[in-house]
C-alpha cells in the first residue's frame, strides 16, 4: 500500500464519495431507524420510511448488520481519493506561489541610542546601527560574563528558540512540554491563525511519527500549510488540505 493511500485513509477518507459509501450510509440509516419498513421486491429489498422522512432505497441483499459488515470490509479503490488530493495540492501550490510564510525576526536591543535616544536599530550581526543617526553599538561577546554564560550551554544564552512560522506572541508564551498542556496553550492563544497552525503541526508530527517518517516531512507540510493559510480567508476541507500538504512534503 502506497504512502499516499495511507495518508488519505488517515486524514480524508471521505475526500471522494463513492457509490459504495453512499450505500453504506443509507444502510446505516436503515439499521439505526425504527420508522422504516422493509419489503421484498423483484429488484431486491425495498426500504421505506414513515411519512417519507427520507427517500426510499433498494438493496441487493436484506439490510442486516452482516450485510453492512460485508460492504464495509470489501476491498476499496482509493485512486479517486488520491486524485482529489493531488488536484488540491496543485491548486494550493499555484495559489501560494511566491509566498513566504515566515515572519521576519528582528533583534531589538533593550537600550536606547546614546547619541539621539532612538530605540530602533538595524542588527548587523556583530553590532547594532541606529536607524536615526547611524551610531554603532557593538555587541559584547567577550569577557568573564560572556565566558560563564557560554559554558552553561542551554541553561543560559539566547533563550527560547523562535519559530518564524508563528507569531511573536505565540513564541513568547511559555511552551510546556506535556502534549495535553500544549493543546491548552494553543487554545489560549488569541491569534486564530496560530491555533490553525498549531493544530496542523500536531497532525503532521503525529502522522509522521506513526508512519516513521522524518520530522523534516512534517516541517515541509507545515510550511505549505502556513503558506496557504496566509492566502485564503477560509479552509473549506481541512482534511484534504492536510493531506495535500503531506503529499507535497512526501514528493519534495
Backbone angles phi, psi at 187, to 5 degrees: -70, -30
Residue 1 covered by a domain: no
* Mean pLDDT calculated for residue range 92-109: 72
Residue 92 covered by a domain: yes
pLDDT in tens, 64-99: 889 888 888 887 888 999 999 999 999 999 988 877
pLDDT of 128 reads 77
Q: Are residues 251 and 175 in the same domain?
A: yes
Residue 232 covered by a domain: yes
How would you list the strands of the sheet with 121-123, edge to edge?
121-123, 127-130, 136-138
Are 130 and 116 in contact, with CB atoms under 8 Å apart? yes
Q: Give the Cα separation of 71 and 144 in Å (integer).
A: 74
pLDDT of 18 reads 81
Asked whether residue 42 carries a pLDDT value surpassing 50, the answer given is yes
Q: Are residues 212 and 130 in the same domain?
A: no
Residue 85 covered by a domain: yes
* Mean pLDDT calculated for residue range 98-114: 67
* Mean pLDDT calculated for residue range 138-156: 54
Domain housing 34: 19-75
Residue 13 covered by a domain: no
pLDDT of 49 reads 86
Residue 7 covered by a domain: no
Q: Give the Cα separation of 6 and 243 in Å (integer).
A: 10
Of 151, 123, 158, nearest to 137 (Cα)?
123
Q: Confidence class of residue 164 from pLDDT cuts 50, 70 and 90?
A: confident
Q: Give the Cα separation of 198 and 135 in Å (integer).
A: 40
Q: Are residues 47 and 95 in the same domain?
A: no
Residue owning grid cell 411519512: 51
Q: Are residues 210 and 172 in the same domain?
A: yes
* Mean pLDDT calculated for residue range 220-226: 93
Q: Are residues 174 and 212 in the same domain?
A: yes
Q: Give the Cα separation of 89 and 82 in Å (integer).
A: 10
Question: With pLDDT > 70 as the criterion, what percentage of the chain qualifies?
Answer: 77
pLDDT of 181 reads 44
Q: Are residues 173 and 242 in the same domain?
A: yes
Residue 3 covered by a domain: no
Residue 55 covered by a domain: yes
pLDDT of 97 reads 81
* Mean pLDDT calculated for residue range 124-153: 66
Give the count of domains, the chain: 3
Higher pLDDT, 154 or 79: 79
Q: Are residues 204 and 219 in the same domain?
A: yes
Q: Are residues 111 and 205 in the same domain?
A: no
Q: Give the Cα separation of 73 and 85 in Å (integer).
A: 24
* Mean pLDDT calculated for residue range 133-160: 58
Q: What does the mean pLDDT of the chain come to?
A: 79
Question: With pLDDT > 90 as the criterion, what percentage of the chain qualifies?
Answer: 24
- The CA-atom distances, in angstroms, between 128 and each of 8, 113, 146, 171 are 50, 10, 18, 23
Q: Are residues 214 and 251 in the same domain?
A: yes
Listed residues 120, 140, 161: the one ending a domain: 161
Q: Are residues 200 and 145 in the same domain?
A: no
Exposure pattern of 103-124 as b/e (b: 16+ CB <10 Å)? eeeeeeeeeebeeeeeeebeee
Higher pLDDT, 151 or 250: 250
Q: Are residues 146 and 219 in the same domain?
A: no
CA angle 81–86–91, rounded 5-degree value = 130
Are 49 and 34 in contact, with CB atoms under 8 Å apart? no
**End-to-end Cα distance, the chain:** 20
Q: Confidence class of residue 184 from pLDDT cuts 50, 70 and 90?
A: very low
Higher pLDDT, 198 or 54: 198
Q: Are residues 227 and 123 in the same domain?
A: no
Q: Confidence class of residue 188 from pLDDT cuts 50, 70 and 90?
A: very low
Asked whether residue 107 carries a pLDDT value surpassing 60, the answer given is no
Q: Which cell is 105 given?
A: 525576526
Amino acid at each position: 500500500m502506497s504512502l499516499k493511500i495511507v495518508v488519505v485513509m488517515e486524514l480524508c477518507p471521505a475526500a471522494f464519495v463513492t457509490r459504495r459509501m453512499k450505500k453504506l450510509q443509507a444502510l446505516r440509516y436503515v439499521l439505526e431507524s425504527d420508522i422504516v419498513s422493509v419489503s421484498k421486491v423483484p429488484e431486491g429489498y425495498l426500504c421505506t420510511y414513515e411519512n417519507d422522512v427520507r427517500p426510499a432505497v433498494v438493496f441487493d441483499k436484506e439490510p442486516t448488520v452482516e450485510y453492512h459488515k460485508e460492504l464495509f470490509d470489501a476491498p476499496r479503490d482509493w485512486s479517486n481519493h488520491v486524485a482529489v488530493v493531488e488536484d488540491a495540492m496543485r491548486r494550493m501550490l499555484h495559489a501560494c506561489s511566491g509566498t513566504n510564510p515566515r515572519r521576519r525576526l528582528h533583534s531589538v536591543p533593550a537600550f536606547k541610542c546614546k547619541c539621539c535616544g532612538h530605540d530602533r536599530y538595524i542588527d548587523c550581526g556583530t553590532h547594532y546601527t541606529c536607524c536615526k543617526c547611524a551610531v554603532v553599538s557593538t555587541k559584547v561577546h567577550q569577557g568573564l560574563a560572556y565566558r560563564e554564560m557560554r559554558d552553561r550551554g542551554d541553561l543560559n544564552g539566547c533563550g527560547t528558540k523562535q519559530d518564524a512560522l508563528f507569531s511573536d506572541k505565540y513564541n513568547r508564551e511559555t511552551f510546556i512540554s506535556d502534549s495535553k498542556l500544549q493543546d491548552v496553550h494553543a487554545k489560549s492563544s488569541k491569534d486564530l491563525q496560530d491555533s490553525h497552525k498549531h493544530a496542523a503541526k500536531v497532525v503532521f508530527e503525529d502522522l509522521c511519527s506513526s508512519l516513521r517518517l522524518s520530522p523534516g516531512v512534517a516541517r515541509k507540510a507545515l510550511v505549505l500549510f502556513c503558506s496557504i493559510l496566509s492566502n485564503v480567508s477560509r479552509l473549506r476541507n481541512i482534511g484534504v488540505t492536510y493531506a495535500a500538504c503531506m503529499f507535497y512534503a512526501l514528493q519534495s
